[in-house]
Amino acid sequence: MAEAEKKERAAPAKQTAPKAATLQQKFVELRKAIPVIVRGSTNEEHGYTFAKISDVYRLLVPAMNEHGVNFDIVEERATRHDQNGDARYVTSYTQNTGRGERVVWIYEADLVIRWTNAENPKDAMDVTLHAIGTNDGGPDKAKGSAWTYCLKYYLFEKFSIDQGTDDPDAADHSTAPSQRAPQAPTAAPTAGGNNYPPGAAQGQQRPQGGAVRPLSEAQLSRLYKKAEAAGIAQQQVNAQIFQRYGQQDPHNLTRQQYDEICAYMDNAARQGGNTNAQ
């Protein structure tokens, strides 16, 4: 046998490099990495527990590094504009409190985030999220609050993260009246929402000429649970209630307004959550 033929037979078969996983396949692996995040922080004023965005990143970032997935905020789009057409990201209103007046800042915008497969940068996906947040510490803190809540609840929904909490609707106390006294709004909002169902008129008020029972805690818990399913934080809901109905205290919504916003949250959840919560 010729020497060249011996070498040809002895040469190992050429191995094919494994095919890189797609971005969608990597999302599945990221979801496996963070099945549960137990809410460990407590809001002492309202008595509920919650998870911080740092709790999400603590598990998500190592998984992203392992599987080669990048995450960026690539655009901030104004959803409100002044009379000249200029972008308006922050508005404010003055609220009367027991300690005097305070200025509450409202930030609102659409955020475009981009997921990228590090092994194939052309394999990318853009997602538009709606961010809204309030804070009385200044417009910068309102923006920080909006971005944090928006991203946290989007990531919870994106990766179906179990937060390990009981359903607040499990205990029905709808017949128990709220102990909060109705309060009239102290100032009209500087800008109104525009995506609630028809009939939810801007600044719509509680009917006059008769006592109306405030919403119960169970009813509000139901509303916030619906909002959470749509990727919308409680703080965002309260801000939208004020902007849309002029009510600083959500307990003071009429039943019609309550039903409208519940229906809106259900619709937002069906359409993909916070990506449509404008």
pLDDT tens, residue by residue, 44-72: 443 444 578 888 899 899 999 999 999 99
How distant is the alpha carbon of residue 133 from its chain centre? 10
Tally of CB atoms within 10 A around 95 = 16
Query: Can you give the pLDDT at residue 86?
Result: 94
Establish if 81 belongs to a structural domain: no
pLDDT-based confidence at 160, cuts 50/70/90? confident
What integer best gives the mean pLDDT of the chain?
Answer: 75
The answer on pLDDT for 38 being more than 80 is no
Least confidently predicted of 49-53, 67-71, 102-106, 138-142: 49-53
Establish if 99 belongs to a structural domain: no
Question: How many separate domains does the chain show?
Answer: 1
- Measured between alpha carbons, how far is 125 from 158 in angstroms, rounded to an integer? 13
In sequence order, what are the beta bridge partners of 36?
Answer: 162
Establish if 276 belongs to a structural domain: yes
- The predicted model gives 264-268 an average pLDDT of 80
Place of tokens 């095919």: 19
Query: Can you give the pLDDT at residue 44?
Result: 46
The answer on pLDDT for 195 being more than 70 is no
Establish if 67 belongs to a structural domain: no
Q: Which amino acid is at 75?
A: E
Span 1-31, pLDDT tens digits? 556 565 556 656 666 666 789 999 999 999 9
Establish if 161 belongs to a structural domain: no
pTM of the model: 0.55
CA atoms within 13 A on the CB side of 116: 12
- Measured between alpha carbons, how far is 56 from 60 in angstroms, rounded to an integer? 6
Establish if 6 belongs to a structural domain: no
Query: Can you give the pLDDT at residue 20?
Result: 84
Establish if 261 belongs to a structural domain: yes
Establish if 77 belongs to a structural domain: no
Cα dihedral sign, 148-149-151-152: positive
Q: What is the domain range of residue 193?
A: 173-278
Query: Can you give the pLDDT at residue 36?
Result: 75
Least confidently predicted of 162-176, 185-199, 239-253: 185-199
- The predicted model gives 111-125 an average pLDDT of 97
